[in-house]
Structure 1
Amino acid sequence: MSDIIFCKGGGCTAKLGAGVLGKILEKLPSGDDPDLLVGFGSSDDGAVYRINNRQALISTLDFFPPMVEDPYLFGAIAAANAMSDVYAMGGEVKTALNIVCFPETMDMNILGKILQGGSDKVREAGGVMAGGHSINDEDIKYGLSVTGIVDPEKIYRNNGCRSGDALILTKKLGVGIIMTADRIRQASQDAVKKAIDSMKFLNKYAADILKDYEVHGCTDVTGFGFLGHLCEMLDKRHSAVVESRSIPYFQECRGYAEEFYITAAAQKNRNYVGNQVSFENNDFFMEEILFDPQTSGGLLVSVCISEADEIVEKMKEKNIPAEIVGYVEKRQDKSIIVK
């Protein structure tokens, strides 16, 4: 399969920049329905609509161009990424609809493999693939519209963190850097395999553990990078101290970043939130890791500090590479201080 045709550089690196998107959304009227519990006002991961006192629907969608050459793996990664928003809201996946852009001139067996990868992931999540929509396009894009369900009293909002909370990250950072290096054939097969395994791994398993604890805030780390999504969590009401030595990342990324195998999307993230971040160490690599856009990244969770160690221990027992990466504090001059 031709690199030029199939994999031009996709995943969450293809997202519009947060700055551009924010300027558009702020001009749109917000929903005034009292049963719309979460809309786009707080840049949360999904919309939540209450249908009764015990149940609310989570609605979300996500799709993007390929970031890997294998169509089955692309479908699986895209599906895992789309469903992640439901887990970031504290919900369970129920149904999914395919979103497909595909050239009619291309081998339809490729599309079949993409759809199979997505379908298998939805089944793994315990959901049902219920249909979808496709259009003829010059380029391939794939993803899902996902419906989940959540207790209205147990929604994980992205901006509910509290001063004194610990911040837990459930996946390693650096998939954007690795996949960029891979597109120019500079990444090792081992590094690419690690990145793919991480991207296709469902956040369901981390979310299942979190159900036993009090979660104050949660989001998934995707196209806006660790720092961009953390800024959304803090909501200009809190600040956070990030312990760079505790950040989980793929070791191979250091060499790739030093060779400047980095993405334009990471630089958009730096331009958007860089002035809200204070880096106390002069470490170019760590800055790039923290700005790096993630495809199907981990959950970033704000929890009581007294429960954080136990949560991380339980996640590691399930082979989830979770770490306590920082703490929430009272508002300071900068939103984030990286030590």
Structure 2
Amino acid sequence: MKNSIYILGIESSCDDTSASVICNKKVLSNVVANQEVHSKYGGVVPELASRAHQQNIVPVVQQALIEAKINKNQLNAIAFTKGPGLMGSLLVGTSFAKSLALGLNIPLIAVNHMQAHILAHFIKEENTNTPPFPFICLTISGGHTQIVRINDYFDMEILGETIDDAVGEAFDKSAKILGLPYPGGPLIDKYAQLGNQKAFSFSKPKVGDLDFSFSGLKTAILYFIQKKEKENPNFIKENLYDICASIQYTIVEILIDKLKNAVKKTGITHVAIAGGVSANSEIRKRLLYAQKHWGWTTYIPKFEYTTDNAAMIAISGYFKYINDLHADVSVTAQARLKVNE
């Protein structure tokens, strides 16, 4: 088929090795290899992550091609994550993508990981709507918390961002304070379903209209737990569900308040979420509420496109490919990269 454009996407920014093949805007395969090794350390160990990527990348790419039912000679381009992320991890994906593109004599496409999270909304899926330009996107993950105005596929403007910690970190650190294993964010979400979100109250940080701050909240949670445990050593055990529900409620309230401000300031009512924390059930619930009661049109990604995955890299690569935005083999990985770079 002459009109079929096959893009292989490679994602290796943190601790997941992923490869995906898309044909035009449809995902044919999206393979992710997780690294279990980090859970016993309570966080991602960069050196171990890059070693695991080296072991995983060939079998993961091979599996993606098998599942897509194509061979490597049918590929039109190779897209890879150039940043932001862990330098060692990024280098594995970058080197592999360069070698494969050179070997196959096809274009190489460098993708900004943060842009890719947002562009995952343009993957062609049944029963999902794609947002029209311009729209607002709340990108929330372990490393980022931003409100971005999306004017076009690669024209993005940061309206507000965190001045300290990211929201994913706030969830994971709160979980650590409660003695929950890493990654703790999904566990807080799970236990919050069983608790009372108004059981305990935590104050919200006072920062700019569209900016975020989570370091003070983390400290407040730590002091609150320490004080309560002095009074009752079994406090966490006896109140775990209520504590998780209250923490989650506070964090989501902060996110929704800022989104409200962004809608008010821009007049844009098409609102999307992206990034790992967009898998959180409470933020999804609140966005559906906003759609029903506040006149917003909301766009919530499928769970498999929220965490780090190569399908979002491949779809970004597709849009870059059709716009001739190819990379040179001299392209380098970048640990730090803003969404509008």
The answer, yes or no, to whether TM exceeds 0.5 is no
- Pair member with larger Rg: 2
Which of the pair is proportionally richer in strand? Answer: 1
TM-score, L = length of structure 1: 0.30
Which of the pair is proportionally richer in helix? Answer: 2
